[in-house]
Amino acid sequence: MSDPREPMNAQVKQLFDLMRAARPAQRVLEAQAMRAETAAFSVLLNANAPAVEREEELRIPGPKGRPLRVRVFQPPGTGAKRPALVYLHGGGWMILSPETHAKLAKELCIAAGVVVVSVDYRLAPEHPYPDGLDDCVAAFRWVRENAARVGGDSRRIFLGGDSAGGNLTAATTMRLLGSGEEPPTANLMICPVTDLDLALNSESARRFGPGDLVLDDAMMRFFCESYAPRASWSNPFISPLRGDLSKFPPTCVVVGTIDMLHDDGVAFAQRLLSAGREATLLTYPSMPHDFMLFPGLDAGAKSVEEMAGFLRAHLE
């Protein structure tokens, strides 16, 4: 839902018209129904995805030896080992997959010249917190320890994700730091959830949550309550905005100004700066939640280039 004080971007309006036409008349807030609905959008999300040098699917060891599926995207060219980006897809910790995010993964792979390892972590409500986070931590550790297996450089491992994946990016970083491990080389947090209470009660949630076509307030509440009991939302591994950010790596936070999670992202960038850490905030006017996933948006293409520029700037 756009704000009357902010003109609707013409490309976003066209996108919203397509989404209205494709969406069921009544949205059902139930995991399987939502997964079926969003799976139907995969074709739209991956329209005109670029071709990478190679892609493969691997099964790597997850928590307690459980197999964990990842998709690996290799950039064009040969030679020296490349930096790697461990990518955590969004979807409210409940829906979506590496497949729905393949276009964005490929775009970042090519634009930044990095190997992208996209993680198929376990989803709520079947697997609430901390199962998905455990998978993300295990995946990052595996990539760092086995970087050569995917053509990556173990000294240059980035971590990133969108929406709930941005939340998991921050929480994974906190887990690594808490265990005395080196953090990622840099983090990429795209339209992130950083505090579950703030996500539902911020000014941007009030302005843009009701009736939004990408992420509305009812969906967000359902996602949050399915991921973790409300009484646990103050846990910094669930709401990383409340955690210790004093040792965080350089972090790029991306926000759209008509996204209900806008204030979550801005607050996290501000907290990093207040803690004396490096934070880059990329703001895109009149853009909704996760706008870079959708084809045909000029701002989406620009955001990929700017995110890739951030990653390239932190290769050394």
Per-residue pLDDT of the chain (316 residues; tens, 9 = 90+): 444 456 779 999 888 887 777 666 667 789 999 998 887 778 888 988 999 999 999 999 999 999 999 999 999 986 678 999 999 999 999 999 999 999 999 999 999 999 999 999 999 999 999 999 999 999 999 999 999 999 999 999 999 999 999 999 999 999 999 999 999 999 999 999 999 999 999 999 999 999 888 999 999 999 999 999 999 999 999 999 999 999 999 999 999 999 999 999 999 999 999 999 999 999 999 999 999 999 999 999 999 999 999 999 999 7
In a domain, 286, yes or no: yes
In a domain, 2, yes or no: no
In a domain, 165, yes or no: yes
List the domain range (segments joined by +) for residue 71.
Answer: 10-313
Q: Give me the DSSP letters along 33-90.
A: HHHHHHHTTHHHHTTTPPPPSEEEEEEEE-GGG-EEEEEEEEPS--SSPEEEEEEE--
CATH number at residue 263: 3.40.50.1820
Of 135, 289, 303, 314, the catalytic one is 289
In a domain, 30, yes or no: yes
* DSSP three-state, residue 156: strand
Number of domains in the chain: 1
In a domain, 189, yes or no: yes
In a domain, 5, yes or no: no
Of 2, 118, 163, 226, the catalytic one is 163
* pTM for the predicted model, two decimal places: 0.96
240, burial (CB in 10 Å: exposed 0-12, middle 13-18, buried 19+): buried
Mark whether 289 is an active-site residue. Answer: yes
In a domain, 4, yes or no: no
Closest CA to 316 of 144, 155, 78: 155
Mark whether 163 is an active-site residue. Answer: yes
In a domain, 135, yes or no: yes
> Cα separations (Å) of 244 from 129, 172, 175, 258?
19, 13, 11, 28
Of 212, 259, 263, 290, the catalytic one is 259
